[in-house]
Amino acid sequence: MFDSISDKFSGIMRSLAGKSKITEKNVQEAVEEIKMALLDADVNLRVVRRFINGTMEEATGEKVLKAVDPGQQFVKIVYDRMVALLGDEENQKLLLKGPDTTSVILMMGLQGSGKTTTAAKLALRLKKEGRRVMLVAADLVRPAAILQLQVLGEAVGVPVFSLEGEKNPAKVAKAALAQAKKDQRDVLIVDTSGRMHLDETLMDEIQKVRDAISPDETLFVADAMTGQNAVTIAKEFEQKVGISGVVLSKFDSDTRGGAALSLRSVVGKPIKFIGVGEKVEDLDPFYPYRIASRILG
């Protein structure tokens, strides 16, 4: 995971970390290498520019160049900026109501992004926290989606609501919410349909589902392996539907890191979880500090 960018960054950091004196030229060279490493990792161009300009400005100030440990100061600047780029942990908790009301989580994203799997992973996680969860099969486009969710629901021990023969996902979601309230379920996780590409029909459909159930969380599932494409699509969903957080799926298979490092800054919404494998247990909270440490080596 992130091997290439991590190798490059740890090399750059090591070359400066131990130095008792560094010049503006040293900083310039290191910042140039950081720029190349970020671009190679497929980080959004504007994000890269902002990152390196800020680093350059801060690291060529007297506070760094005249410090007793300038190399360490430089490393700290890069680390702090990397953490800020990834997000702040305060905003990463799920926005759920107390256990005596039904909170609603709407899952959305492109087909194949990992929505259905993530819905089940989240259900398991919340169940383990003591929540009474219900899953909703409102992906009525992909033929096997309902069955897939039922199988996953069984695996995680969470009931799955579906309406046989119903073609309108907003109606399914609304009926599910009524059922969840009746059954005193405190979290409802709604799996919606995706498409291979963005289209108006999909946006229109998701807006209707959203309006039918007023979600507390609208989670966009982004496939980390698709890099900047995932960022562009997240931006589109944010504008058309509104998102409250991102789940970055297939993080385990992402060798570059471009989506992780760009999403927060471009879309302005926190990454809340990462998918780290195909199994239902493979969902972790997203910790900016840990990722930044891993990248900087």
What residue numbers does the annotated binding site cover? 109-116, 191-195, 249-252
d(CA 119, CA 42): 28
Q: How far is the CB of 193 from ligand GDP (least distance, A)?
A: 8
Q: Which is nearer to ligand GDP, 60 or 193 (CB)?
A: 193
| β-bridge partners, 258 | none
List, as residue ranges, the binding site for GTP: 109-116, 191-195, 249-252
Largest Cα–Cα distance of the chain, in whole Å?
72
Q: Binding mask 111-150 vs ligand GDP (x if CB under 6 A, - otherwise)?
A: xxxxxxx---------------------------------
Q: Which one of the spans 9-17, 169-177, 200-208, 249-257 is the region binding ligand GDP (CB under 6 A)? A: 249-257
Whether residue 106 contacts residue 193, with contact meaning beta carbons closer than 8 Å, is answered with: no
Q: Choose between 94 and 145: whose C-beta lies nearer to ligand GDP.
A: 145
* Cα distances (Å, whole numbers) of residue 166 to 187, 195, 206: 23, 19, 16
- 3-class secondary-structure state, position 158: coil
46-75 residues in contact with ligand GDP (CB under 6 A) are none
Q: To which H or E segment does residue 203 belong?
A: helix 200-213
Verify binding: residue 229, ligand GDP, rule CB under 6 A: no
The span from the CA of 157 to the CA of 292, in Å, is: 35
| Residue (of 22, 85, 33, 87) closest to 59 by Cα position | 22
Q: Does 109 bind ligand GDP (CB under 6 A)?
A: yes
Asked whether position 275 contacts ligand GDP by CB under 6 A, the answer is yes
Give 113 or 262: the residue with its C-beta nearer to ligand GDP: 113
- Binding residues for ligand GDP, rule: CB under 6 A, are 109, 111-117, 194, 249-250, 252-253, 275-278, 282
